[in-house]
Amino acid sequence: MLKAPTMMNPSFKTQAGQSAFTTVYDRALERWPIPVERLFVPTRFGRTHVLVSGPREAPPFFLLHGMTGSSTMWAPNIAALARTHRVYMPELPGDFGWSEVGQPMKSRDDCAAWLGEVMDGLKVESSVVGGQSLGGWLSLNFALKVPARVKALVMIAPAGSFAEVGLQFILHAVPCMIFPYRFVFEWSERWMCAPGNIAPRESSELFAAGMRHFRSQVRVRPGPFPEGELRGLLVPTLLLVGDKEVITNGPALVERARQLIPHVQAELVPHAGHLLSGEKPEHVNARVVRFLEDLARPSQAA
């Protein structure tokens, strides 16, 4: 398995901070439940780090992490999703992880071009595309901008796609940047989860290390897409939202998606908040696997 780079990545505040982040990241991959590869793909927006799991001959599935998550956030889900797919998990340049920023992404067109260049570098023409939170927004944006390259779409608690992100999210995110202490991180994560749920260990540790040592260079902020574009989305789509979603109104989000997207399966996941894939991995895994299995049936492919 390719090791993390030893040269200084400018996204880190200090060399010592990069070393500390490396330790936490490598420990997360040591706990990865199945074999994983680490690749770097050149793009005009920076060299993109990609985790890859699943059979080489299996159909591709591009899976995008949430903001400040890194691709290690998929540890609770990867074993189930990689049984039938080759899962590519690129890390957004400028966000926590090992991608390097070249030309910062500043627009929807930039975001779509970046993911397209990653797919080109991996020699993938079209794929199932999905993600959580910001990753869900990026996936939907790509499906709207380059529909010919998207076979199906999976959105898990997408941020900002159908409604503005609420002020409460800002109020719980900013203190983590100003006061990088564990009790502040835990306070923010508890708010994002449904009562009684906790974030996965990998997510919590990487979030804390990133907040302390990483200099975020993400310039794009997720916002609602035009209704006309959403009505023209024709690819099969799965949307999962926690019934205790906090960055927006979960039931309203699901209802709006049902009204706007022609081929959407939009569902509320019981007793789950914004960190849905980690709070309820068994539910999410089973539902996504069923969606993928349905796509593979001849009646769905016709």
271 is catalytic: no
Residue 7 lies in a domain: no
Q: Cα(167)–Cα(84) distance, rounded to whole angstroms?
A: 39
At 182 the pLDDT is 83
pLDDT tens-place string over residues 249-280: 999 999 999 999 999 999 999 999 999 999 99
Residue at token pair 């001959």: 57
What six digits make up the tokens of 212? 């302390």
At 218 the pLDDT is 86
Instruction: For residue 247, give the 3-state DSSP assignment.
Output: coil
Domain that residue 128 falls in: 15-296
- Select which of 49, 85, 213, 274 is catalytic: 274
Helices (H), 47-122: 78-81, 108-121
Find the Cα–Cα–Cα–Cα dihedral 86, 258, 91, 269, rounded to 10°: -80
Q: Cα(265)–Cα(278) distance, rounded to whole angstroms?
A: 21
Instruction: For residue 144, give the 3-state DSSP assignment.
Output: helix
Residue at token pair 């901070």: 17
The Cα-based distances of 283 to 31, 33, 143, 276 in angstroms read 21, 18, 25, 9
Residue 4 lies in a domain: no
- pTM here is 0.93
Task: For the chain, list residues with pLDDT below 70.
Answer: 1-8, 299-302
Residue 5 lies in a domain: no
Instruction: For residue 12, give the 3-state DSSP assignment.
Output: strand
Residue 46 lies in a domain: yes
> At residue 143, what are phi and psi to the nearest 5 degrees?
-65, -35
Instruction: For residue 50, give the 3-state DSSP assignment.
Output: strand
Residue 256 lies in a domain: yes
Residue 1 lies in a domain: no
Number of CB atoms found within 10 A of residue 106's CB: 11
What six digits make up the tokens of 296? 């593979």
Instruction: For residue 171, give the 3-state DSSP assignment.
Output: helix
At 6 the pLDDT is 55
Tell me if 159 sits within 8 A of 136, measured CB to CB: yes
The Cα-based distances of 27 to 7, 201, 202, 203 in angstroms read 19, 11, 9, 12
Tell me if 260 sits within 8 A of 231, measured CB to CB: yes
Q: How many domains is the chain built from?
A: 1
The Cα-based distances of 68 to 26, 93, 173, 203, 210 in angstroms read 17, 11, 10, 9, 7
Instruction: For residue 31, give the 3-state DSSP assignment.
Output: coil
Residue at token pair 């993390």: 4
At 301 the pLDDT is 44
CATH number for the domain harbouring residue 52: 3.40.50.1820
Find the Cα–Cα–Cα–Cα dihedral 164, 169, 170, 173, rounded to 10°: -140
Q: Cα(178)–Cα(48) distance, rounded to whole angstroms?
A: 28
The Cα-based distances of 65 to 6, 62, 96, 235 in angstroms read 23, 10, 10, 21
Residue 152 lies in a domain: yes
